[in-house]
């Protein structure tokens, strides 16, 4: 019998959502600003070195979260932790999305969750033993090195960081960038996509490796900036590999199976990104409504002026639809598997960031210039969201996937 | 305990959906064109008189539907018939939406379903006995007379068809138009919104009445045209009332309670309209994909040209989101009641027609001029859908409802 | 020295614009409805036969126009008639656009103007003598037969109506459709695109011919419908050619030069179409503003409700921009030649119909259901405009032209 | 006789456009990045203190511009300098828009041009003598203090910085923010809008004053940030006035005439802003096209993938239309005066920033993540442009102006 398409909050997850929501709003949000204000205040002046206060903020909040059992929710469909369904987790991700540092407080931040999934799903026992404990306990961080400067990231088969076998080692040469989280001084593990055999069939050319961040030959060149911000101390780093050696047992799953790993990793992560985006859209709409009610012009609240009713109504409609679509994608992941969920994930990957950007942009406009200033979080939310239209594949690639799946219904030969 | 938000097809409804789908596609669709080609061929030349062949097409198909038990699905949450939930019915409405005459074949066509609901919910036993059997068996038809020529239909309190008591009768004077279905020769019942007391408080001024269509003093002036079409024999009629007398027991629910009736009537009907619109969008997308695969230009299938991938992907995304939103509105109707469902119904009332119009328009464009010609059903679908942006309230009024509900979260005094 | 980019009305054209505007609004508009109401009233019942009254309406108005010298304005850059520039003519086309039959009254209606241009520019003296007088005097009509049922009209090189030489004749076999104006009983000339040599280089395969409409073997199969309307008596006809014989001197310009003729013909016609579309958008906005001021809901004029200020403002902005773009395209045609004007014409061909459709759609929405009924001209205007997104090339083909011209700036090898 | 609506480049301005274009691209652009990299390198660490190198870059470029006579173009319709028309100047503003520091190099940067206009038009001889020479020679800078933290800037009559007469002085108390350019250490003059008489008729309550930036009681509280950037050393400052005294002859035009001054000031400045925005859109499109041609995915240039043709074509169409609209607004300013030009300026104020933001956003998307990084100027251009949707009135206020002007055509009583 087919499972019910229950997209609501289960009895199990409802109190968790409530607890997370409360902690995000009441305990994390007030410290988020302080955390960010600390950036660059390390005695060394290094923006990517973390200050005592930053570490303290993180530690105190993480301890609370752990003590309350609000930890590692992302372990969906697992016998560890809560074993939440993807749908259940989605509701939690939405709540965490509202505040920048919140996901890390619950050890649910990207790219670590995806990386831990890779370890869980594809890692050998030795690999797990080495890397998982630190990550699972939130002591260490990790990065996922995929994108390269000279390659259109829409077309991953072009990835070309060289991986050559030399005796008992692989030797890596090349560059990666947009390695999110690699700026963090606690980041100890890189999961690296490499090209091991350029002459193999298209989807067997690549190999994924676990590479310790401090391996000789690895050089962090610079942080990539997002609208002029380096996102320190997290960062999106540009990294060069020069004759970097890792032992053969650093391989994930097997030589030539890089794409298999990459595919398996991406599904849930994209759902989390999208749900966090929805959390941010909700937050922006809340701010906009309050402003629209509290500010007057021409003797009326802003809410009653211009097209503001329409703007607010459209935002509400778009948010609800997008949330339902994400929940459906999560449900497909839970009940039909990654492969069947794939076109659904492409759908939300296009829709959620675009929707959230639109809502936040309208919110900024309702605020007037305050909306793009430091006096509201909206501008920061907008630039963060803007990265999602590239991360894990640009819109165009996902639209292409959706269209091809659609056309395939009417033809045997894929178009 | 809260009910699960199950938006999927239940085990009960799944086979019904399948049967309806098959009957619509294989048995009804082929006769739909013939039915419409008969319009105006009555010996009298009257476009609103039905030919033998038209009656025969309807009768034969209805008999089949009845024999298979595919009948009166709209009786949701009832002990008669299937007692489907609104969510279950929504899936059926979508299937029926694809072909013009299909809803009538299953006795699920507007405005009769809404009118039967009024009878079921608010009718006295005598009223039920008089009007329900014919309607429930699909022998007679009914119309709902709300809109007036001189009144902005967005603001229903302005409705002003006069209802004055004179002894044991009400006497009606005034005009109604856009009375859908009133052109049908089988239409025997009008449900009429009247203004009985202009001096009463705003929402107690109006009274709803059951008025036999053949009451003296009723004059059908003309069919209103939709993009130049009279939609015969169904029609949207302009009707004049001159000293029309009905007995006091023709009142629905009670004097001054017209708005209460109108509110209760509108919820489910709007959901059905929206789900049928989704059915039409699905059909248009199917046609567009087939065309895009089957036609070549510049040596490639159209699918591979221009922005067609993006157009198809966006259509698929929008359809899925809108369907989920409608199902959520239906679920609210089932589990939280009409009042709580109201803002959800406003959301879909804005979203579903706009989405479907966009998808159909893109489909027409993919077809080239064929898309607006008699060689595809797309143009007819588009004009039908265009009426939905006015029917039961224009977009602007529904956006206003959604915005006010949103703002109310942040203020005690409604804005 | 480069000519000034004067996009305004010249002193010469200003009084003509005023006269045309006045005649359209005061003399033609009142008879337009009557003209259309006559369709189908010919004693034969044939919708494409014109009634006495129709002929009378046309004759009386044309006589007035001729007597006032308001005739054949389209003869731009010519020593006959006014010799207006394309910019000057554009202003006149806009005025004529507001009312359906107006362009014909001034002998400026499509496709005749384009066809007369072909005769003027490419015709032999004998061809001119035979066909031009009737057309120039507005006694006869003509059609342009390009589109074929089995060919994507975006890719004209696929056109395949067969033209084979047989002794002193060409013999034509195949089908054409969407032959606008070919339904008119006065239509005596078809200009027909044929494929004369399938093995020639791509742009030399086709030959254009002057074919008398009454040539044996020509069969008008049916009118193509536009949103269910046959546009009688003008019509867009589906025509079959079976062994149709025309003498060799029926060729336009020369064998294999069909594309050269087609290119030369299309520029000005597209500008006229676009300017007429702007005239219609202006008219729709005028109607919408009047309605918005004259109708009340919730105690306010509609203008003050919802997003109507924004809707009206955006319509005004879009109209002005599109008009300026059309005038610039016209100016390019006047001063830089057809070839240089080509990408400009593609720009307006995309922009003007889309803009006008949007404005008319918003106007319909402001009117409520009246906006799509017979009580306003808006629905008819909308469906007419919708054809322009296909006529003379669908949007996608024109966007492709614009993009290719843009990209060519940065590469020698055309992309 | 009415003047020709010549929107082209005149023979006089064409070589100037060419010279400016060349200087911007070849001499200014290469130093722009260096200038910005210097921010914060002043020995004091103060981001708003300018380094030697910054001053040197500006001085050397300004000297070149002055030597070539490329200076103070904004003095339109004047007997000083070139006396360019607004249309002519518009073409120059577009060229200067492409690079951040370019406008200042030609002494054509906001808000100084508007402020100099105020001095020119409304200043007494003594006021001119004191302030104009430094500004005209590009030695000093100025700011325009309008916006206040507690006032919806859409409704300027609410402005409430207190101006009270006390003997021979005015005493000012209150706060201003978003004072663009007030961070610049060379900024010596503030033009300040104050409320001098809260009980006067609505448009006579306010008085404009020339206030030296170093007047005691003026305190710069902080820079307002734009998407997290302080735009140092230019800056948008938040400023507090505490018992700031200026003599009575600091008044501009007269007590209670603040709105008259503000109205007169805004027209040309908005045109310049819009033309610079167009310059930026052109630059973004150029970058996008080059990227689309130079980068490959799936074996094809990006240009050939997804909807890129449509995106590029739409960008080109929108840019051309918007430029023409700005030129028309400029022409109205030249030939019909500020008052008649007002609705035209509102039109471009809505359209130009929206269009440019869209084009830049699409360009970022074509670049992939590089588009939002420090490796292209696109992100910086986008955030700069985003401020224009608030500066000098938010979109909604301008749409309201356009709509009211439109509706006024059909009613005597303004709606």
Three-point CA angle C76, C80, C86, nearest 5°? 10
> What domains sit in chain A, N to C, each tagged with a CATH number?
13-123 (1.10.540.10), 141-252 (2.40.110.10), 259-408 (1.20.140.10)
Do the Cβ atoms of D152 and A229 come within 8 Å? no
Contacts of C396 in chain B (CB under 8 A): 305-308, 365
Three-point CA angle D45, D49, D51, nearest 5°? 85
How far apart (Å, rounded) are the C-alpha atoms in residues B131 and B127?
6
Q: Which of B310, B328, B403 sits opposite A324 (nearest CB)?
A: B328
Task: Say yes or no to pLDDT of B108 above 90.
Answer: yes
Q: Give the residue from chain D lying closest to C354, CA to CA.
A: D314
Alpha-carbon distance B317 to nearest alpha carbon in chain A (angstroms): 6
Mean pLDDT, 10 residues at a time, chain D of 415 residues: 87 96 96 93 94 97 96 81 90 95 96 94 96 96 95 86 97 97 97 96 95 98 96 96 98 95 83 96 97 93 94 98 98 92 96 98 96 96 96 92 96 55
Which of D45, D385, D394 should one mutate to test binding to chain A, selecting the residue with the greatest count of A CBs within 10 A?
Answer: D394
3-class secondary-structure state, position B19: helix
Contacts of A307 in chain C (CB under 8 A): 306-307, 309-310
How far apart (Å, rounded) are the C-alpha atoms in residues D407 and C305?
14
Q: Concatenate the DSSP letters of all residues of A26-66 into one string.
A: IIIHHHHHHHHHTTT-STT--TTSPPHHHHHHHHHHHHHHH
Contacts of D309 in chain B (CB under 8 A): 306-307
Do the Cβ atoms of A383 and D227 come within 8 Å? yes
**A245 inside 8 A of chain B by CB:** no
Which of B292, B375, B386 should one mutate to test binding to chain C, selecting the residue with the greatest count of C CBs within 10 A?
Answer: B386
How far apart (Å, rounded) are the C-alpha atoms in residues A126 and A364?
50
Residues C30-53 have a mean pLDDT of: 94
Q: What's the Cα-to-Cα distance from D329 to each of C46, C355, D58, D342, rounded to whole Å?
A: 53, 20, 32, 8
Q: Which of B292, B321, B404 sits opposite A324 (nearest CB)?
A: B321
Task: Say yes or no to pLDDT of B372 above 90.
Answer: yes
Q: How crowded is residue C125: how many other Cβ atoms within 10 Å of its Cβ?
A: 7
pLDDT given for residue D3 in this prediction: 82
3-class secondary-structure state, position A244: strand
pLDDT band at B75; cut points 50, 70, 90? confident
**A227 inside 8 A of chain D by CB:** yes
Do the Cβ atoms of A380 and D228 come within 8 Å? yes
Beta carbons of A104 and A50 less than 8 angstroms apart: no
pLDDT given for residue D89 in this prediction: 94
**D347 inside 8 A of chain C by CB:** yes
Beta carbons of A207 and A194 less than 8 angstroms apart: yes
In angstroms, the first-to-last Cα distance of chain B is 34
How far apart (Å, rounded) are the C-alpha atoms in residues C332 and C85?
11
pLDDT given for residue D130 in this prediction: 97
pLDDT given for residue C65 in this prediction: 97
**C340 inside 8 A of chain D by CB:** no
pLDDT given for residue B1 in this prediction: 55
Mean pLDDT, all residues of chain B: 94
Residues C79-86 have a mean pLDDT of: 82
Contacts of D302 in chain A (CB under 8 A): 152
How far apart (Å, rounded) are the C-alpha atoms in residues D238 and D240?
7
Mean pLDDT, all residues of chain C: 94
- What was the ipTM of the complex prediction? 0.95
Size of interface A-B (CB pairs under 8 A): 146
Alpha-carbon distance C142 to nearest alpha carbon in chain D (angstroms): 33
How far apart (Å, rounded) are the C-alpha atoms in residues A369 and C390?
43
Residues C234-246 have a mean pLDDT of: 97
Do the Cβ atoms of B387 and C373 come within 8 Å? no
Q: Which of A212, A353, A217 is nearest to A272 (CA)?
A: A353
How far apart (Å, rounded) are the C-alpha atoms in residues C380 and B53?
31
C175 alpha-carbon distance from chain centroid: 22
Contacts of D310 in chain B (CB under 8 A): 306-307, 310
Contacts of A298 in chain D (CB under 8 A): 154-155
Beta carbons of D7 and D331 less than 8 angstroms apart: yes
Task: Say yes or no to pLDDT of A366 above 90.
Answer: yes
How far apart (Å, rounded) are the C-alpha atoms in residues B320 and A56?
45
Do the Cβ atoms of A365 and D395 come within 8 Å? yes
Q: Give the residue from chain A lying closest to D222, CA to CA.
A: A374
Q: Which of C289, C399, C411 sits opposite D406 (nearest CB)?
A: C289
Least confident of C237-246, C406-415, D261-270: C406-415
pLDDT band at B386; cut points 50, 70, 90? very high
Residues C307-336 have a mean pLDDT of: 97
Contacts of D321 in chain C (CB under 8 A): 321-322, 324-325, 351
Two tokens at B99? Answer: 């072909």
pTM surpassing 0.90?
A: yes
How far apart (Å, rounded) are the C-alpha atoms in residues A269 and A388?
12
Three-point CA angle A381, A385, A390, nearest 5°? 155
pLDDT given for residue B24 in this prediction: 97
Alpha-carbon distance A308 to nearest alpha carbon in chain B (angstroms): 8
Beta carbons of B226 and B387 less than 8 angstroms apart: yes
Do the Cβ atoms of B153 and C368 come within 8 Å? yes
Contacts of C229 in chain B (CB under 8 A): 228
- Bridge-based pairing of strands C187-195 and C141-145 is parallel
Chains with 3 or more CB pairs under 8 A to chain C: A, B, D
3-class secondary-structure state, position B373: coil
Contacts of C324 in chain D (CB under 8 A): 7, 321, 324-325, 328
Exposed e or buried b per residue across A338-362, where buried means at least 16 C-beta atoms within 10 angstroms of its C-beta: eeebbbbbbbbbbbbbbbbbbbbbb
Do the Cβ atoms of A227 and D372 come within 8 Å? yes
3-class secondary-structure state, position B137: coil
CA dihedral D97→D143→D232→D147, nearest 10 degrees, is -100
Contacts of B309 in chain D (CB under 8 A): 306-307
Do the Cβ atoms of C403 and D6 come within 8 Å? no
Residue in this structure with the two tokens 């009688």, named with its chain if needed:
C232
Alpha-carbon distance D31 to nearest alpha carbon in chain B (angstroms): 40
Please give the share of chain A, as a percent, with pLDDT higher than 90. 88
Task: Say yes or no to pLDDT of A412 above 70.
Answer: no
Radius of gyration of chain B (CA): 22
How far apart (Å, rounded) are the C-alpha atoms in residues A373 and C165?
76
How far apart (Å, rounded) are the C-alpha atoms in residues A389 and D259?
44
Q: What would you measure as the largest C-alpha separation in chain B, in angstroms? A: 79
Do the Cβ atoms of A316 and B409 come within 8 Å? no
pLDDT given for residue B82 in this prediction: 80
Do the Cβ atoms of A155 and D379 come within 8 Å? no
Q: Which of B158, B225, B395 sits opposite C374 (nearest CB)?
A: B225
Chains with 3 or more CB pairs under 8 A to chain D: A, B, C
Alpha-carbon distance A278 to nearest alpha carbon in chain C (angstroms): 26
How far apart (Å, rounded) are the C-alpha atoms in residues C99 and C92?
13
Q: Which of B225, B297, B395 sits opposite C154 (nearest CB)?
A: B297
pLDDT given for residue A1 in this prediction: 54
Contacts of C306 in chain A (CB under 8 A): 307, 309-310
How far apart (Å, rounded) are the C-alpha atoms in residues A366 and C103?
46
Contacts of B293 in chain A (CB under 8 A): 407, 410-411, 415
Encode chain D in three state secondary structure.
CCCCCECCCCCCHHHHHHHHHHHHHHHHHHHHHHHHHCCCCCCCCCCCCCCHHHHHHHHHHHHHHHHCCCCCCCCCCCCCCCCCCHHHHHHHHHHHHCCCCHHHHCCCCCCHHHHHHHHHHHCCHHHHHHHHHHHHCCCCEEEEECCCCCCCCCCHHHCCCEEEEECCEEEEEEEEEEEECCCCCCEEEEEEEEECCCCCCHHHCEEEEEEECCCCCEEEEEECCECCECCCCCCEEEEEEEEEEEEHHHECCCCCCHHHHHHHHHHHHHHHHHHHHHHHHHHHHHHHHHHHHHCEECCEEHHHCCCHHHHHHHHHHHHHHHHHHHHHHHHHHHHHHHHHHHHHHHHHHHHHHHHHHHHHHHHHHHHHHHHHCCCCCHHHHHHHHHHCCCCCCCHHHHHHHHHHHHHHCCCCCCC
pLDDT given for residue D154 in this prediction: 78
**D363 inside 8 A of chain C by CB:** no
For chain B, positions 293-322, list CB contacts with chain D under 8 A.
306-307, 309-310
For C133-187, write each residue's pLDDT tens digit: 999 999 999 999 999 998 887 788 899 999 999 999 999 999 999 999 999 999 9
pLDDT given for residue D157 in this prediction: 87
Q: Which of A6, A317, A406 sits opposite B316 (nearest CB)?
A: A406
Do the Cβ atoms of A390 and D382 come within 8 Å? no
pLDDT given for residue A415 in this prediction: 40
How far apart (Å, rounded) are the C-alpha atoms in residues C385 and D409?
26
Do the Cβ atoms of B409 and A289 come within 8 Å? yes
Q: Give the residue from chain D lying closest to B309, CA to CA.
A: D306
Alpha-carbon distance B129 to nearest alpha carbon in chain C (angstroms): 35
D208 pairs with which residues across the strands? D193
Size of interface A-C (CB pairs under 8 A): 12
Do the Cβ atoms of A306 and C306 come within 8 Å? no
Size of interface A-D (CB pairs under 8 A): 118
């Amino acid at each position: 019998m087919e499972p019910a398409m229950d997209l609501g909050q289960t009895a199990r997850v409802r109190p968790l959502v409530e607890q997370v929501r409360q902690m995000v709003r009441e305990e994390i949000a007030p410290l988020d600003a302080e955390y960010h204000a600390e950036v660059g205040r390390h005695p060394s002046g290094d923006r990517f070195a973390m200050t005592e206060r930053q570490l303290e903020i993180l530690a105190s909040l993480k301890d609370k979260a752990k003590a309350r059992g609000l930890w590692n929710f992302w372990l969906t469909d697992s016998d560890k932790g809560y074993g939440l369904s993807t749908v259940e987790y989605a509701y939690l991700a939405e709540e965490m999305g509202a505040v920048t540092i919140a996901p890390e407080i619950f050890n649910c931040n990207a790219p670590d969750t995806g990386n831990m999934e890779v370890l869980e799903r594809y890692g050998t026992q030795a690999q797990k033993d080495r890397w998982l404990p630190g990550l699972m306990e939130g002591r260490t961080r990790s990065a996922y090195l995929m994108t390269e400067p000279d390659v259109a990231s829409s077309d991953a088969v072009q990835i070309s960081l060289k991986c050559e076998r030399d005796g008992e080692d692989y030797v890596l040469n090349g560059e990666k960038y947009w390695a999110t989280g690699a700026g963090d001084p606690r980041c100890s593990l890189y999961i690296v996509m490499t090209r091991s055999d350029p002459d193999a069939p298209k989807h067997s050319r690549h190999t994924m490796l676990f590479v310790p961040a401090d391996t000789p030959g690895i050089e962090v060149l610079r942080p990539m900036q997002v609208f002029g911000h380096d996102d320190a101390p997290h960062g999106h780093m540009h990294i060069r590999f020069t004759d970097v050696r890792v032992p053969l047992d650093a391989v994930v799953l097997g030589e030539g199976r890089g794409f298999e790993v990459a595919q398996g990793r991406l599904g849930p992560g994209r759902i989390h990104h999208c749900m966090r985006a929805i959390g941010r859209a909700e937050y922006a709409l809340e701010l906009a409504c309050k402003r629209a009610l509290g500010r007057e012009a021409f003797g009326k609240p802003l809410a009653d002026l211009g097209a503001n009713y329409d703007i607010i109504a459209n935002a509400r409609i778009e948010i609800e639809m997008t949330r339902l679509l994400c929940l459906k994608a999560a449900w497909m992941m839970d009940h039909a598997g990654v492969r069947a969920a794939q076109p659904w994930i492409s759908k939300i990957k296009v829709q959620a960031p675009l929707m959230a950007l639109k809502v936040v942009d309208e919110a900024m406009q309702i605020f007037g210039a305050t909306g793009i200033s430091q006096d509201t979080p909206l501008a920061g939310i907008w630039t963060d969201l803007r990265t999602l239209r590239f991360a894990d594949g640009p819109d165009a690639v996902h639209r292409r996937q959706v269209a091809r799946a659609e056309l395939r219904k009417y033809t045997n030969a894929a178009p």
